[in-house]
Structure 1
């Protein structure tokens, strides 16, 4: 964006113009005459998502947000008193509250710090996120999900900080969720929920809605045998069309190329911050698009606010500055941000 230096995709991604334009037309303005072609595009988008994630279109559900998707997963099971669900300690509330809310049903929701430890007895669900949202370090989600599946435990993966950056799913994941507003650069209003074949075969879904009927509105048609059983209602068409445009760009560019571009940018930020004397807390091996550093003795929030006054946008989390460049971030933006942080380090907030 002209005049804006932006390294904060882990919060909200800058929407490309192509995606914004794709979502401008309000299909509802023509009623069903305009909406009917949109139903075909729904199917096309499911197919495209399925190709990306290595599943089939029947595994793909559209939700309004990552939070809604995870709450749908939480409602899927017939919980019994004493059942256990585990989730990452200190995780973002979207991947905490769906599980702690289950305590009202007698479920034990346990926060986990050491993922190498054995799962507690009676664990029915492991809910893990791909990335620590404060440090940017990738969690050992692949190993955790593999161990859980080997033990007959259901798995749920919050992939919002990996989707659009690097591969973020495996055959051991039963539920995969990611909103499109961050690294998928498509704005609010849509999250993708992928439901595994195992879950489709063994679980009924969290609710029954008209959209989950085989032939709406005919009740006698029965429910579909797909992830649409997890959909609560229609997602706004503009959100779907924005994501459709973004996904096409990612596909043309190639996911490996996207990942390589993000890594080059985050590695440059990481190395330069260390050279400047910042204490970088992110892991360059278990990497994500996030690089977090401690600006002590300066206050992270104050540094971020100083950046906003210069139209340099980064984030702050847990007392650290969080920088998150995407493949769209230019070399000039990275240079301007790093030069500014050097002045902050050497001269203070007025540098």
Structure 2
């Protein structure tokens, strides 16, 4: 599959620059959803067996992208549930930044409050950047795990997983991968726990996600909220068996097979074209967006270094002009996220020249109004 074939599967209207919030469904995902919806509608004799095949399919697709064995991957309805499994399953101190997306610190604190076996240690960051040096300087002997975001949702910073692994030794490395999963060619082998959802950069819609666990994670985590499908028995009537010995222990109930089919379809496309190829296409478009911002003297607070960025560009105009920039984008049909005094643009592999023209027009309006 070529990058051009992949780009042809984008169907959103021009002006969409908000993949960090949600990615419009890919054409292949829409077609797969429709096909399985028709199967479920008709319920023809023998047709329902296809739903039972989707769990193995999505785990195989996730294995191809993450390079984790399929048997060490379990489907989740969202990234946050994967984080909850990780935090509630830990014993010891977990080092993380309080400025991560709320899913991560809240999961750590809820686990502490409920079980009293995990203790958050709050990492001081370099202007929101979680770096190997920062972790090294604050890594106490009692830290059992370090938790990070692959890409910071506010700063767009792409963390150095390999560098962090070198610093933390054999401690568990937990990665909230949802920002950038499927478009960042990350060294997943450095991680012990990867949790992600498919509704953003993978364009698979809500209700999709996976939790991938290394052998070390499987050995050290406890599957605290493991449901009846998390056992070795298909239907354990009359008694309560222990959790399964493996990643499947982290299942709470039967997964949504149509959601699994959606995510599998998206991941199969990503694997066919190659994450590295997608990443290169995004990098080119991110550079164009940064050049546009520079042309109109709009401060860019996210990193310009390709090694420290993914698909997010963060604009930080003067505080009194944030509303003006947001309004200019809105008036020219550009979809973006404004949060905490900055504007976040999320660029994907098929961001079109027409979208960049719309962004330029918005910047022209902003610059003109700001001048006067």
TM-score by length of 1: 0.89
Q: Is the 8 A contact 1:126 1:145 kept in 2?
A: no
Q: For residue 257 of structure 1, give the secondary structure of its aligned residue in structure 2.
A: helix
**Corresponding position of 2:75:** 62
Bigger shift: 154-163 or 94-103?
94-103
Q: Is the 8 A contact 1:65 1:190 kept in 2?
A: yes
Q: 2 CA distance for matches of 1:116 and 1:32?
A: 59
Q: 1:343 and 2:365 equivalent?
A: yes
Q: For residue 124 of structure 1, give the secondary structure of its aligned residue in structure 2.
A: strand
Q: 1:299, CA displacement in angstroms? A: 3.9
Unpaired stretches in structure 2, ≥5 consecutive residues: 1-10, 126-133
Q: 1:132 and 2:140 equivalent?
A: no
Aligned residues: 344
**Corresponding position of 2:262:** 242
Q: Is the 8 A contact 1:73 1:206 kept in 2?
A: no
Q: What CA RMSD, in Å, does the superposition of the two structures yield over aligned residues?
A: 2.5
**Corresponding position of 2:173:** 155
**Corresponding position of 1:253:** 273
Q: 2 CA distance for matches of 1:319 and 1:329?
A: 25
> What are the within-5 Å matches in structure 2 for residues 196-235 of structure 1?
196-218=214-236, 223-235=243-255
**Corresponding position of 1:84:** 93
> What are the within-5 Å matches in structure 2 for residues 301-320 of structure 1?
301-320=323-342
Show CA shifts across 1:159-204 (max 9, x none). 1112122123433311101110111111100111101112223444
Q: 1:296 and 2:318 equivalent?
A: yes
Q: 1:142, CA displacement in angstroms? A: 2.6
Unpaired stretches in structure 1, ≥5 consecutive residues: none
**Corresponding position of 2:105:** 96
Q: 2 CA distance for matches of 1:260 and 1:118?
A: 34
Q: 1 CA distance for matches of 2:369 and 2:86?
A: 49
Q: For residue 188 of structure 2, give the secondary structure of its aligned residue in structure 1.
A: coil
Q: Which of the residues 151, 163, 178 maps onto 1:143?
A: 163
Q: 1:14 and 2:24 equivalent?
A: yes
TM-score by length of 2: 0.84
Q: For residue 185 of structure 2, give the secondary structure of its aligned residue in structure 1.
A: coil
Q: Is the 8 A contact 2:55 2:75 kept in 1?
A: no
Q: Is the 8 A contact 1:169 1:176 kept in 2?
A: no
